[in-house]
Amino acid sequence: MTPTRNERGQSLVLTVVVLVSLLGMAALVLDVGSWYRAKRQLQSTADAAVLAGAQALPDTPGNATSLATDYAAKNTPDLATNDVSLSTNIVPNDRISIHVTRPAPGFFAKLFGIYSVQVGARATAQTEGMSSAKYVAPIAVKNTHPMLAGSGCPCFGQSNETTIPVGTTGAPGAFALVNLLNGAQGTSGASTLADWIQKGFQDYLPIGGYFSDPGVKFNSNQIQDALNLRLGTEMLFPVYDTLAGQGSNAEYHVIGWVGFHIESVDAQGNNGSLTGWFTQVIWDGLAATTPTGGGPNFGAHTVQLVD
């Protein structure tokens, strides 16, 4: 008689094998999720680093590289790689890129001999002149201002304190106050101009022609109150090269934008001045797509991630 084979216990062995496999897969899924989160955090570090560095471009590329490198290292101290490079998009040194890596330890994966993996991230940001700018204040600045067109200028910073004349600007009825409603003529009213001064114009304004606002004078109480609320802050002014016509037909040809830190206001009848200094600013704007699309470089740029 042929003895029968005893198969008792085989199902238990199979169950153990399946359970071990399932547990191993679950463990790897948990570690993969952890590595994915580490990569996302590293991507945030890379994005923030190039945005910080881009604020120094294109004028001081050395500072941009240091800013990006230091920012990445401070936000993620255990970086294995922290490589920064500069390139050209429209003008030299207007684009900055970074490649960072760091080890991401495993936990359950150690059971399979995987103690850590390298996660990496890349990011690129660029700074450009603005073909259009948002939150513009309706005070026109001539491009021949000594701190914009003098020897070695534009000149920025508190050490270059200056005044901007606000009053009759070369055309009868023009008081350096601009109707920011593109193409609109006539007065927009003291309250509207005051709101634009206090909050900035709430839409993107392109470079081009803007009519004078002849119905409101600089010494208007509403204008003065709005300016006083802006003391100690930065404003963005349109810069013009020509002014043609008179009264409501006087048109400023805006060629760019400039930041100004306002310290005091002096009203003298229909004329007066703003005291402060021009500043290099990163502003909310639409990036130029050609070297001249943002007009002359008066220190106002917009920064954006491009990769």
As a whole number of angstroms, the distance between CA 107 and CA 304 comes to: 37
pLDDT higher than 60, residue 279 = yes
Copy the structure tokens of residue 116: 């850590």
**Cα angle vertex 235, ends 233, 236, to 5°?**
160
Q: What pLDDT, on the 0 to 100 scale, is given for residue 93?
A: 95
Identity at 136, one-letter amino acid code: V
Q: What pLDDT, on the 0 to 100 scale, is given for residue 55?
A: 94
Q: What pLDDT, on the 0 to 100 scale, is given for residue 81?
A: 93
Strand duo 81-87 + 130-133: pairing? unpaired
Closest CA to 137 of 198, 191, 57: 198
Q: What pLDDT, on the 0 to 100 scale, is given for residue 289?
A: 92
Percentage of residues in the chain having pLDDT higher than 70 = 82
Angle between helices 10-54 and 61-75 (to 10 degrees): 150
For the stretch 52-103, pLDDT in tens is 999 999 999 999 999 999 999 999 999 999 999 999 999 999 999 999 999 8
- The domain made up of 13-128 is a member of CATH 3.30.1300: yes
Q: What pLDDT, on the 0 to 100 scale, is given for residue 150?
A: 85
**SS3 letters across 194-252:** HHHHHHCCCCCEECEEEEECCCCCCCCHHHHHHHHHCCCCEEEEEEEEEEECCHHHCEE
Average pLDDT in the chain: 86
For the stretch 17-36, pLDDT in tens is 555 555 555 556 666 677 78
Domain coordinates in residue numbering, the chain: 13-128, 132-305
HSE of 151, CA atoms in CB hemisphere, 13 A = 0
The SS3 assignment for 284 reads coil
Copy the structure tokens of residue 143: 């491009």
For the stretch 173-184, pLDDT in tens is 566 888 998 778
Buried b (16+ CB within 10 A) or exposed e, 266-282: ebeeebbbbebbbbbbb
Task: Identify the helix (H) or strand (E) that includes residue 43.
Answer: helix 10-54
Q: What pLDDT, on the 0 to 100 scale, is given for residue 29?
A: 63
Tell me which of 128-137, 161-170, 257-266 is least confident. 161-170
Contacts of 35 (CB under 8 A, 6+ apart): 104, 106, 117, 119
